[in-house]
Amino acid sequence: MIKLSIFRKNPIFKIVAIVLIIVISVFSITEFLLLPLPIFGFHSIYDENRLNDLPSRASYLDYSLQNLEKLLIYLINNDYWFLSNQEFYDYFVSHSKTIPKELQNTKPIMLTFDDGYKNIDVYLLPLLETLQEKYNKSLKIVLYINPKQMKSDKEQKKTRYLNCEDLKRGTELGFYDVQSHGYSHTDLTRLTFQDLKYELSESQQDLKTCLSNLSNRQIAAQHLAYPYNKVNKQVEQLTSHYYQSAYLFKSRLRHLLFLFDSYKIPRIGVSKKDSPKTLIQLARRYSSISR
């Protein structure tokens, strides 16, 4: 009764309440339009039993192998389809292909990892092999790679980042889908046109060259994750000349004013503080929308 009397005496409260409901609804609808299925963006992986090994550049973005295993087991047991970047593009962005009948009742998800840390190969790859063998389930992760780090002769970078042989082995085994994160992980919005062109084209060429002789041929370096989550009009336009799609970590405010854009596809950023339960809830939420 008290709440009703407030609205009667102060119509401004009623107007504010209605506006808030509309804004929240628009945010929710926009988010669903922009994120048609769960795309998780990880960075580095660490083993809780080996905390000082294979460090990353930003520890707050690290995710524990043990928590990731819990997430993966849930996804496997609940019939999730681990998409490659090209599958996501073909089936859910361009709609150039029809989802195979045997996969139509599965729940699609894409797991991506930025920067190409060595700990992906040391910790995560053996886990993927173990889980695939145990559950007889095809598992795939998308790696957004900076070839300059991959090719570095510096000892520190050799121990921190994946090299070409690592990428070839993981791809040949069927677990890695190798895509681009720019050549040297620089802010693309600060570059001249020529330097930007080099960052985009050189990355693509190096990654394709690395994987060119595999017997298990993969569609490499056709998609880009923007370094530092930065993009402007020039970057987006030139990216479209080299790549089929590009990715950002999602921001409701940033994306509110436009609908789905294949060169600003949002991902859900994952950090150390995110529990497996939180990620499972997000996976369930967006999978229900995509179906």
Q: At what angle do helices 125-135 and 65-77 cross, to 10 degrees?
A: 30
Residue ranges, the chain, pLDDT below 70: 1-36, 216-218, 251-259, 288-291
CA distance 174 to 218: 9
Kindly report, residue by residue over 57-74, the tens digit of the pLDDT. Answer: 889 999 999 999 999 999
DSSP H/E element including 228: none
CA distance 93 to 263: 10
pLDDT of 24: 43
pLDDT of 219: 83
Burial bucket for residue 257 (CB in 10 Å: 0-12, 13-18, 19+): exposed
CA distance 187 to 75: 34
CA distance 44 to 60: 9
What's the CA angle centered on 87, arms 196 and 103, to 5 degrees? 165
Half-sphere exposure (Cβ direction) of 200: Cα atoms closer than 13 Å: 28
Query: Domain limits of the chain?
Result: 1-34, 37-290
pLDDT of 151: 85
pLDDT of 255: 43
Q: Single out the residue of 61, 204, 224 nearest to residue 144, CA to CA.
A: 224
CA distance 151 to 52: 24
CA distance 124 to 99: 28
CA distance 114 to 41: 7
Q: In the structure, how many helices (H) and strands (E) does the chain have?
A: 13, 10
pLDDT of 57: 86
CA distance 148 to 150: 5
Find the distance separating the first CA and the last CA of the chain, reported in whole Å: 42
Second CATH level (architecture) for the domain 37-290? Alpha-Beta Barrel (3.20)
Q: Which residues pair with 13 in a beta bridge?
A: none
